[in-house]
């Protein structure tokens, strides 16, 4: 069995994230890293493998992104994935959800042909776009069951069950492998790479694919054929400094209520 984990290289959320002149996200000028929310996906893949002793299970980490995005795959290998795939091609830059999901689907299909893709795992969202739509779109393109936003994952044989928090309810979702699974940050703390893991990662196979390796043409993806266009981006003006009072002998509560009343909240 082979598990494919989709991981994204994103600008560090604690850095000063910004846009390029063409309104695409600056993925080069800002320090990047493996999206925190994808670490949970890598973790679940590793746990899936560890819980099934005696079965031959491998984990392939897949990323799509610029040169530096390979760091996301490397980190996944350090955590314990067995092999990596980095799809990199200038033509992919600026892809929207449709373009991104297309490239990922083609890459999963290629991995499937080579090593299998019995389980595809994604994080619940990227920390930059925060769309939470690509796992569902990947399931749509691959024609696989969509089992997404799992806070708990359980499996037996080829049956997978998850717990999913919806707006007004918690659901149990069941499906038969192969599936596309996405996991939330409630699914279990992600491990840190060990020193041994970091050393071992250097010897693990890591392939680099271009669009043509996936049978895609440059005019099928990227900014120029995106289905939506950004017309403008504006930095939010810094909030004007508010009034800060220090609570002394109960003065804080009075000041707080006065403020709320002055704004007509009471």
Partner 1 sequence: MSEVLVVVDHADGEVKKPTYELLTIARRLGEPSAVFFGSPEQGDAVAEKVKKYGAAKVYVVDDAQIKGYLVAPKAEALQQLAEKSSPAAILLPSTFENKEVAGRLAIKLGSGLITDAVDVADGGVTTQSVFAGNYTVQAKVTTGTPIITVKPNSAAPEEADGAGAVEAFAVTISDVAKTAQVVATQPRQSTGRPELTEAAIVVSGGRGTGGNFEPVEGFADSLGAAVGASRAAVDSGWMPHAFQVGQTGKTVSPQLYVANGISGAIQHRAGMQTSKTIVAVNKDPEAPIFELVDFGVVGDLHTVLPAATEKVKERKG
By CB under 8 A, is residue 169 in contact with partner 1? yes
- Which one of residues 17, 68, 112, 204 is an interface residue with partner 1 (CB under 8 A)? 17
CA atoms within 13 A on the CB side of 222: 14
User: d(Cα 94, Cα 223) in Å, to the nearest integer?
Assistant: 4
Classify residue 165 as left (phi > 0), alpha (psi -120 to 50) or beta: beta
User: Candidates 81-89, 108-116, 171-179, 205-213 — which segment interacts with partner 1 by CB under 8 A?
Assistant: 171-179
The reply to whether 145 sits near partner 1 by the rule CB under 8 A is yes
Residue 39 tokens read as: 């670490």
- HSE value, Cβ hemisphere, 13 Å, CA-based, for 218: 5
User: Contacting partner 1 (CB under 8 A), which of 21, 55, 143, 157?
Assistant: 143
Q: Which of the stretches 51-59, 64-72, 119-127, 190-198 binds partner 1 when contact is defined by CB under 8 A?
A: 119-127
**What's CA 218's distance to the chain center, in Å?**
24
Residue 234 binds partner 1 (CB under 8 A): yes
Cβ density class 8-20: b for 16+ within 10 Å, e for less = bbbbeeeeebeee
Q: Candidates 75-83, 157-165, 194-202, 203-211: pick the segment binding partner 1 (CB under 8 A).
A: 157-165
Does position 107 interact with partner 1 (CB under 8 A)? The reply is no
Which position among 28, 154, 158, 233 is part of the footprint of partner 1 (CB under 8 A)? 233
Between 88 and 120, name the residue whose CB sits nearer to partner 1: 120
Structure tokens at 105: 């689907």
């Amino acid at each position: 069995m082979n598990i494919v984990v989709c991981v994204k290289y994103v600008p560090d959320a604690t850095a000063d994230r910004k846009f390029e002149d063409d309104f695409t996200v600056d993925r080069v000028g800002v320090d990047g890293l493996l999206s925190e929310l994808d670490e949970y996906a890598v973790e679940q893949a590793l746990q899936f493998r560890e819980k099934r002793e005696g079965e031959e299970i491998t984990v392939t980490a897949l990323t799509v992104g610029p040169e530096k995005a390979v760091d996301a795959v490397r980190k996944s290998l350090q955590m314990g994935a067995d092999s990596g795939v980095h799809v990199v091609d200038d033509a992919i830059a600026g892809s929207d959800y449709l373009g991104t999901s297309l490239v990922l689907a083609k890459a999963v299909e290629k991995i499937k042909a080579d090593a299998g893709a019995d389980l595809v795992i994604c994080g619940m969202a990227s920390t930059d776009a925060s769309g939470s739509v690509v796992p569902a779109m990947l399931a749509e393109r691959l024609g696989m069951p969509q089992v997404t936003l799992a806070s708990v994952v359980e499996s037996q044989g080829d049956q997978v069950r998850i717990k999913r928090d919806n707006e007004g309810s918690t659901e149990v979702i069941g499906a038969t492998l192969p599936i596309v699974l996405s996991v939330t940050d409630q699914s279990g703390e992600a491990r840190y790479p060990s020193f041994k893991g970091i050393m071992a990662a250097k010897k693990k196979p890591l392939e680099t694919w271009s669009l043509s390796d996936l049978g895609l043409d440059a005019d099928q993806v990227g900014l120029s054929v995106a289905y939506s266009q950004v017309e403008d981006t504006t930095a939010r003006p810094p909030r004007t400094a508010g009034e800060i009072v220090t609570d002394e002998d109960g003065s804080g509560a009075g000041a707080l209520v006065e403020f709320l009343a002055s704004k007509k909240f009471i």
